[in-house]
Amino acid sequence: MDTVRYLQLDVFAEKAGGGNPLGVVIGADAWSDSTMQRLATWTGLVETTFLLPPGNAEASYRVRIFTPQREIAFAGHPTIGSAHAALETGLVPAGSTELVQECGAGLLPIHIDQGRKGRVLSVQAPRARRIEPDVLHAKLVRAILDRTPLGSLSPGFVEGGRRWWIAEFADETTLREWQPDHAAIARLAKASDSLGLCVFARCNQPDYEVAVRAFPAGVGIVEDPASGAANGLIGAWIAAGEPDGALARGYRVSQGREIGRDARIGIRIDVDGTVWVGGMTHTVIDGQLSWR
């Protein structure tokens, strides 16, 4: 029976209960792939991560990310949560201002900022690239969005750590009230080998400028409360489509209200198009886990 340290976190939330849960295991250096996968399946969380010694001298630590079904190269909220866990448990020095995560997507810089409300961690998202969609897949997207008022940016297919379809809605009310065809999104995800569809709308609210909803049917999730990778791709899509627009250098995101959450995600976009995705994390459970 192996005993390891286990944390359960709430990521992208200004207070516990608003964001996306994450399980983090520390001390499973000798575990096999199948043992890690079995635990991730058992937790039932969207993702469970394993913090390991780095294999690259430039990295602060290495992380492996598992959904209940399989290992994945990158995801936003597991990255932010894993960095939080590394700081909280002393795996990296508490006074650090920069970290480098080693994962399946490569070496990703993480910036640490002590904000007014608490510590904010931001990861440099993998570079996004536009994918020319298959004609059949584009037809599926049009059918899903049929009769939905859309925004100024055309829908698209983007890859950057993950693969997502992106669409802008005309306004926040349309986004909040939308009742998607989840079976159709699942067919799209399977056909195009993507996570699914994420949609956004521009807002005129005092504490956020963009509202987001994400439907990662490709990994069996109906709706995600806080999506780091999806938000990184949305940021890149906006910056590429409107390089001189009001949102081209960054903005604040609201996500998850439709499923009882209240996630807050910050997007910063550098002049060269580099996208940073950040937010706060809370430790909800910190204890020991016994596993064979």
Show the domain range for 222.
Answer: 129-273
Same domain, 134 and 258: yes
Residues 85, 133 share a domain: no
What's the structural domain count of the chain? 2
Instruction: Give the pTM.
Output: 0.95
Calpha distance 283→279 (Å, rounded): 14
**269 in the same domain as 161:** yes
pLDDT band with cut points at 50, 70 and 90 for residue 135: very high
Position 165 scores a pLDDT of 98
Q: What pLDDT, on the 0 to 100 scale, is given for residue 254?
A: 98
pLDDT reported for residue 88: 96
Q: Let me know whether 149 and 66 are in one domain.
A: no
Q: Are 49 and 171 found together in one domain?
A: no
Same domain, 108 and 222: no
DSSP code of 134?
P
Q: Position of tokens 């010694």? A: 53
Supply the pLDDT for residue 113.
94
C-alpha to C-alpha distance for 239 and 234, rounded to whole angstroms: 9
Specify whether 108 is located in the same domain as 144.
no
Residues 117 and 141 in one domain: no
Statement to judge: residues 257 and 142 lie in one domain: yes
Q: Looking at the structure, tell me whether residues 112 and 152 fall in a common domain.
A: no
The domain that contains 93 carries what CATH number?
3.10.310.10
If asked whether residues 144 and 256 sit together in one domain, one would say yes
User: What is the per-residue pLDDT across 271-280, written as a single tens digit (0 to 9) for each?
Assistant: 999 999 999 9
State whether 69 and 160 are in the same domain: no
Reported confidence tier of residue 192, pLDDT bands at 50, 70, 90:
very high
Q: Which two tokens stand for residue 289?
A: 């886990």
d(CA 91, CA 155): 41
